[in-house]
Amino acid sequence: MNARESFPRLLLSEWTKLRSVSRWVITFLAAMALTIGLSALLASANRSDANVHRNFVVGPHNDPVSDMFYFVHQSVTGDTTMTVRVASLAPTRQPDERRVDGEPTTLLDDPSPYAAPAAGIMIKDGTRSGSSYASVLLTKDRGVRVQSDFTQDHEGSASSGTRWLRLVRAGSTITGYESADGATWTPVGSVTPRNLPATAEIGFYVSSAPAVYVSRGGASSSVGERPTSTDATFDNVTLTGSGQWRGTQVVDANADGRMGKGGVAGGRFAATGAGSGAGFTVTGTGKVGPQAPDDDIVEGALIGVIAGLMALVAVGALFATSEYRRGMIRTTFAATPRRGRVLAAKAVVLGATAYAVSLVGVVTALALALPTMKQHGFAPPAFPTPSFSDGPVLRALLLSAAFMTLVALFAMAVGMLVRRSAAAITTTIVLVLLPLIVGMVLPGTSPRWLMYTTLAGGMATQRAKPPTVTLAEPWAMIGPWAGIGIVAAYTCAALGLAWWRLRRTDA
């Protein structure tokens, strides 16, 4: 290998080519400006009334939560221990609703540990919805858990049958235990609720999260909730200093709006048996857990990525095809016969430049769009203000810039394959935009597989929140790592084909 073929010299040569063409430099700046400008424009046009027409209450951490369940309780002061056996847990009322606003719907499968029917012991700051609490609970199909303040969740055994539960308060720490026989106990987890006073309400409870139905397609989506109910039987109830039990249906402040037609009015309880065999049957409805909107403020602030992407596609394709159009590629290969090294140098130079430009663009876009979106309703408590140091926000910024870079490299690889700039640009843009358009129109969850198999899946990198099927945008259905992985696979395949053609055909 001579000095001319050294990879650092190749990098310098390709960098000189890239920066010496003024229109390419201008296009890089345009990509940054388009990313920032479109994000700012759409941020000023976007509105949310989530804080005005709430379907949530505010929890101890000032975040949106749902706090609906049936509570059989009494007051207790200081340290205490309560034990129960959950003898049975069975859903009794499931909705038969299959349409939202007259359209066929999809039942949302929520894997959250807060979404399963549950029965257990809870200690709570009164019976006001949204107040601080800790609980140990048996779920229908997600095992035993200890939860606190709508944010903390500790997993116990996978049991879904009869289970003994115990909740112990020692100072500010609440510990949950489980047992198969009431003799041998296993700790599930310990929590420290944020605002639990010395005198609190303790007792057994039942919750049953509503069924959520989604209708999406035609660039829109509708979401409807239908209540469910669950029966549980408790026996062997013991509490230090036990007094009179009383039942309360804890209801969200906005329960009427959330229950919908056919809503369950509330739960109930009844004592069964007498003496050592005494027990209780409890019917409960409602969810205890987080209730954040699926709309993603970070995604909304980064929507300009799609515009900046188009400019980078043009640069990527032209960086590959311009030397063919002018016949300069022969000079390049004469100086460096190892053509794969030339392709690698072009990819490194284009990739590094595109990533730097994209990262500046997305960071600036987010910084400028967030204040505007906050003024237009995307504000706490429904939308906590994101911080650039938050893991999901940082991930969205880094992966969005990586998405833009990989698509630019894909366009370059296509340019090497077809050797025509118009064809390379058109092919790449169609492969990104067409699945997005089709995915917006297709109904139900069918667009998910389109996002899993096309470059359009890379749009998922903009989301800081988990995937959801409740939104109109199809890329929200997949996770960001899946999205960037798909684009990386396409780009690697395209670069591999470009390398293959360079080795086997004349310039």
pLDDT digits (tens, 9 = 90+) for 444-490: 888 999 999 999 999 999 999 999 989 999 999 999 999 999 999 99
Residues 172, 41 within the same domain: no
Residues 236, 269 within the same domain: yes
Q: How confident is the model at residue 254 (pLDDT cuts 50, 70, 90)?
A: low
DSSP assignment letter at 281: E
Residues 130, 264 within the same domain: yes
What is the count of structural domains for the chain?
2
Residues 171, 205 within the same domain: yes
Whole-angstrom Cα distance, residue 483 to residue 458?
Answer: 4
Q: How confident is the model at residue 506 (pLDDT cuts 50, 70, 90)?
A: low
pLDDT at 80: 96
Residues 143, 22 within the same domain: no
Which of 235, 262, 290 is the C-terminal boundary of a domain?
290
Average pLDDT score over residue span 67-94: 93
Which of 257, 290, 323 is the C-terminal boundary of a domain?
290
pLDDT digits (tens, 9 = 90+) for 169-181: 999 999 999 999 9
Please, which residues have CB within 8 angstroms of residue 189's CB and are 6 or more apart in sequence? 145, 146, 154, 155, 156, 175, 176
Q: In what order do the strands lie in the sheet with 220-226?
A: 106-107, 211-217, 220-226
Which of 266, 290, 314 is the C-terminal boundary of a domain?
290
Residue 43 burial class via C-beta count within 10 angstroms: exposed 0-12, middle 13-18, buried 19 and up: buried
Q: What dihedral angle (degrees, nearest 10) is formed by the CA atoms of 371, 376, 378, 381? A: 100
* CATH assignment at residue 204: 2.60.120
The larger pLDDT score, comparing residue 214 to residue 365, is at 365
Residues 286, 302 within the same domain: no
Task: Give the predicted TM-score (pTM) of the model.
Answer: 0.87
Residues 286, 435 within the same domain: no
Q: How confident is the model at residue 255 (pLDDT cuts 50, 70, 90)?
A: very low
Residues 246, 107 within the same domain: yes
Whole-angstrom Cα distance, residue 248 to residue 311?
Answer: 60
CB 291 within 8 A of CB 65: yes
Average pLDDT score over residue span 7-30: 90
Residues 369, 246 within the same domain: no
Domain holding 192, by residue range, is 57-290
Q: How confident is the model at residue 103 (pLDDT cuts 50, 70, 90)?
A: low
The larger pLDDT score, comparing residue 274 to residue 287, is at 287
Residues 206, 231 within the same domain: yes
Residues 474, 374 within the same domain: yes
Whole-angstrom Cα distance, residue 283 to residue 120?
Answer: 12
Residues 116, 237 within the same domain: yes
